[in-house]
Amino acid sequence: MSRHTGLQREVLSLYRSCLRAVYHKPIDSRTHFKSFVTQEFRKYATEVERKDFDTVEFLLRKGKRQLEVYGDPNIKRMTTAAG
């Protein structure tokens, strides 16, 4: 018996995929990429209600698009804007 719903499994899968993508980046940039991933997931984990399925699905689509962009091997560095 699964302990997570289908949507929760999708979120966890996206999170793991994002973390895996970090290790394809240059060593000196990995910290920035990993920090970005963890900050984004934690931010939305506290801001979005578990039962707000529309928002969770929207954020999943947004996250998958971001993974496609940031997962591109040509993107080597990332900086985050303060504020």
Residue closest to 13 by CA, chosen among 73, 67, 54: 67
The amino acid occupying position 59 is L
User: Domain extents for the chain?
Assistant: 25-73
The amino acid occupying position 65 is R
Determine the Cα–Cα distance for residues 26 and 58; give it in Å rounded to an integer. Answer: 30
| Per-residue confidence in pLDDT tens, the chain, 83 aa | 568 888 999 999 999 999 999 999 999 999 999 999 999 999 999 999 989 999 999 999 999 999 999 888 888 887 666 54
Residue closest to 67 by CA, chosen among 26, 23, 19: 19
The amino acid occupying position 45 is A
What are the tokens at 30? 């990995």
What are the tokens at 3? 């302990």
What pTM was computed for the model? 0.84
